[in-house]
Chain A
Amino acid sequence: MRFEDIAEGTELPELVFPVTASAIAVGAIATNDYETVHHDKAAAEATGVPNIFMNILTTNGLVQRFVGAWAGPEARVRKIRIKLGAPNFAGDTMRINGTVSRVDPATGEVDVAVFGRNGIGEHVGATVTLHFPERSAA
């Protein structure tokens, strides 16, 4: 993706992510998060929820992957801000969509607004700020 080709309102290709129990547990361990509610169903149920659910660092990683796959290896990630809502419980599916919300030619920065929705509501709302270095050097 070249900075010159990005316009506000551009929509990113949707990512459909199956929230399997394996994906939740593997994501939790890969982010060094050993809280039992992310890998032990009985422990999750004991806290009053129906199943294990995705940890926030995995959501953070999926948001980066989603925007990065569209932006390409030239883009640098400057900021990721995420806010969680409906949990990603095992067995659900999350659909991630994104829209370019800001393009700043002066700084070479681009903001992408990201929304991840699952079967029970909005799991995540995020803003990712990218920087395209060759543009700011020009």
Chain B
Amino acid sequence: MNEPSDLYTQALAWLGKEATRPVEARDPVNVPMIRRWCEAMGEENPIYVDAAAAAAQGFAGPVSPPAMLEVWTMARFRHTGRSAEDSIPALVLFDEAGYSGVVATNIEQEYDRYLVEGDRVSYTAVIDEISPEKRTGLGIGHFVTIRYEFTDQNGEPVGRMLFRVLKFKPNLAQPAAAAPEAPAEFSHPRPAVTHDNAHYWEGIARRELLIQQCSSCGHMRHPPGPGCPKCQSLEWRAVKASGRGKLHSFVVVHQPRIPSLQYPLPVLLVELEEGVRLIANGLDLPEADITIGMPLQLDWVEIEPGYVLPAFRAAEV
């Protein structure tokens, strides 16, 4: 009944697919790179740089610090920035949809054996998980989890890694007020966009009416808020409303008159079939035709170029 956003649907097509081409380390495990890493971290365990200390622990040579696993396969520096072949198409999809921010949030590494000087590491990477849209301290975004399998020069597994990044919209763009040169002496009121409701207004701009559903107990809620009123969970997902509902209550406003609105103005309390109620203006609804319980259908009104609001009209029967 409820559909996730188009972007999320597109992103989900990447699940289980290769995140990047397979990558082989450009250099074998070597002491100069290990030494530089140890100096950066303040790591003083001698088995990473000293053959005798490594031999005392049963190793054939100096070993790579386990946490360097992914370091061996990182992409090279390019003066022109990251190349297309080094990029991850599933993340580029979010870039192109405006989720330009990226921050790594989780690493889970597991090591089968210590890599010894001379080993050469390769990996394959698969898109493992993509979260529904989440509200975070950085902005709204999606968590993307990539699963890496690392092997040595003989194709034997040496370790694996889950790497999770948040692709997010860094800034909350407030809807632009009418241009100063616009003739309207009193511009239409704009919503105040906050971290708690940004997903809702961004959905509106795409002509999608999004309702929050608690990820823990499944309760649907509106208006947007950070927590579930039933179970207090802070985890939620956005679901797209069908747009069908019925009239729960209404008023028809005659006074006071805000110059940019048209009167008489039907203001409807609509009960959506998803079970939540929201307030919206009525379209083509003469007062005499309005009855409690009447079926309603979502429509969109472009108030000004680029500024869209949901409204409801009588459903076709």
Enumerate chain A interface residues (CB-CB to B < 8 A).
Answer: 17, 23, 26-27, 29-34, 47-48, 55-58, 60-65, 68-69, 73-74, 76-84, 87
Contact = CB atoms under 8 A, between A and B. Distances in A.
B108 A57 contact: no
Chain B: number of interface residues, binned into ranges: 35 or more
A62 B53 CA distance: 21
B70 A73 contact: no
Given A31-B74, A34-B77, A58-B40, A73 B46 contact: yes
A77 B57 CA distance: 14
B40 A60 contact: no
B106 A31 contact: no
Interface in B149-201: 170-171
The 3 A-B residue pairs with the shortest CB-CB distance, nearest first, are A32-B74, A30-B40, A56-B104
A81 B56 CA distance: 28
A82 B107 contact: yes
A64 B36 contact: no
Contacts, number: 103
Nearest to A77: B66
Contact of B44 (A47, A58, A69): A69
Interface string B88-128: 00000000000001011111111100100000000000000
B105 A84 contact: yes
A79 B40 contact: no
Nearest to B78: A34
A69 B77 CA distance: 31
B205 to A, nearest CB: 20
